Every structure is written in structure tokens, then in C-alpha cells.
Amino acid sequence: MASDRPYSGLFPVAPTPFTETGDIDFDGQRRVLDCMIDQAVDGICILANYSEQFLLLDEERRQLTELSLAHVAGRVPVMVTCSHFSTQIAAARARHASEHGARLIMLMPPYHGAGIKLEETSIREHFARVAEAAGIPIMIQDAPLSGVTLSADFMVRIARDLPLVRYFKIEVAGTAAKLRKLIDLGGEAIEGPFDGEEAITLMADLDAGATGVMSSAMLPDLIRPVIEHHKAGDRQQAAKAYEHILPLINYENRQCGLRAAKTVMMEGGVIKSDHVRHPLEPLHPATRAGLLELAQGVNPLALSWGK
């Protein structure tokens, strides 16, 4: 088992594999988790947006939570995303995940369309109740998808008031600047400042003080050298390692989204299908070819793991 808090390092998001008919491929999910662990990740996040969590039935969420936690079996910490507008539902999800061995919970602020705006008091209470239900650390996901603006000052107040809510995944415009402000204002209360968005701004975010990275599962083995060189104080080697993989990360982020990791894993024999659930559409053949061309140029483990 990895060491206890503070959690840091690589916590990639696991994709949810489906069959060609759209059913969950449970055996494929086990293989995804094994492949990620073989890439020397520090932890795994399941049921995030890049896991297509918004396309899953409640029963499927339950099954995937229990399967993933049982299969990982403590080899690395598992973070479970439990976001929902309803505090009651988010708390129930978090309690279930905690009871089955989750080590962290990731949570977006409550949101439901552009017309429903909550006061900061309600948002804080949402995080507080979910943390109480889970009894394990909570990571706030600060992302444009929610449409909710979380100021650095507000997040610092939460971190100081709620000892379990001291992890933050920042993936907004100007992530590095927000991370820097969050860390400067919050000090030791900011236990885990993480970056996200497929590591598209990784170097700037590490420079700003990020201690964790939440990429996709496509190439964490190639992201690790960037983190390790940077942590060792060798920024030149970190930048060199990052330049090597940045074209692929950029292609994933700008052209493919959550479909990229699935496509690379399918090509590498990790999963049988890169199917995404409707209304998402599969990658255009030309886009798919461009992705695999770039992936073959840097050769992440996921591209050969199952061959």
C-alpha cells in the first residue's frame, strides 16, 4: 500500500471500457487497472468525467466502484469521483466508496445548468456533508465544466475550516497562476495541489507548486520522468522529457478528449473496444490515425501492454 496522506504524484483517470454494443466490459476494466499499475502510478481515479461517469447508470457506478476497489486491492490508493448536484446522493456515493476501500473522493461543486447558481455557503456545506459521510480526504475539482467559479480565497477558507477537504484539482484557464495563489494563501492547509486537463500545462503547474498530476491513462509512464526530474531540481531534463510527449498530450487534449486513452489501449491490446456511449461519437478515422502515429513515436506502455 502506498503511504498515507499527503497523497501526491501521478493519479491518472481510468477509462471505462465498453463492448461494441455499449455494455460495460468488466474484464476490460480489470485490465485497464492492471495496465495503469504497471505504469508505476501513485494512485488511480475512477468514475471521473474521463471515465464517462455522466453516461453510467447508478447500478453500473456501484458495480464499477466495488469491482475496481476489490481488484486494485490496496496496490495503490484509489480516488472515486462522486460528484452530483444533490448533497444526499453525493454523500451516499462517497460513503459507499469509502466503505469499499477508497482512499480519496473527488467532487465537483454542485451544478446543474447555467441557470442554477448556489451561494458559497451552500457549496461549502455540500463539501462538508460529503466529507463527513465519507470520512476520508476530499479533492475539489475546479473545472470549467461546472460553470461554478471557485476563487482561491474561497477554497483556502474551505481548507482551513474542513480538515478533510484539502486536495484541489485545478484545471481552469491560468491553472498555474491559480495554483500559485492557492498555495501562497493557504500554506500548509493546501495538502494536495494537483493539476489536471491531461497534463497540458504540466511544466507551468509544477513550477507553480503542484504536487500531483491527474492525466488520462494514456501515457502516465512517460509523464513520470517529467515529475521526477522536476522534483529533483533538474528543470532542464524535466522540460526535455515534457517536450518529447507534449505533441501527443496536445493531440489528446485538443482533438480526442476522453477517447484517446481508449483508442491507445485498444491498439495495445489492453481492451477489446474503444467504444464510447452515445451521444459521444467515435474518433474520425483520420483523427484516430493521427493519434496513433504520435503515440507510436513515443511508445507509451499502454500501446503494447496487452500484445
Cβ–Cβ under 8 Å, residues 32 and 286: no
Biggest CA–CA distance in the chain, Å, is: 52
- Residues noted as catalytic: 169
Q: Is the dihedral of CA 99, 78, 57, 169 positive or negative?
A: positive
1 belongs to an annotated ligand binding site: no
Cβ–Cβ under 8 Å, residues 233 and 207: no
Helix (H, G, I), strand (E, B) or coil at 52: coil
Classify burial at 76, counting beta carbons within 10 Å of its beta carbon; exposed 0-12, middle 13-18, buried 19 or more: buried
Strands of the 167-170 sheet, one edge to the other = 9-10, 212-213, 192-195, 167-170, 138-142, 104-107, 78-81, 44-46
Measured distance CA(283)–CA(280) in Å, rounded: 9
The residues near 84 (Cβ < 8 Å, ≥ 6 apart) are 90, 93, 110
**Cα 122 versus chain centre, distance:** 25
Classify burial at 268, counting beta carbons within 10 Å of its beta carbon; exposed 0-12, middle 13-18, buried 19 or more: buried
**Cis ω before 279 (30° cut-off from 0):** yes
Measured distance CA(217)–CA(223) in Å, rounded: 10
Helical H segments across the chain, by residue range: 26-38, 58-72, 87-99, 120-134, 152-161, 175-186, 202-208, 220-231, 235-251, 259-267, 285-298
Binding residues: 214
Binding residues for pyruvate: 214
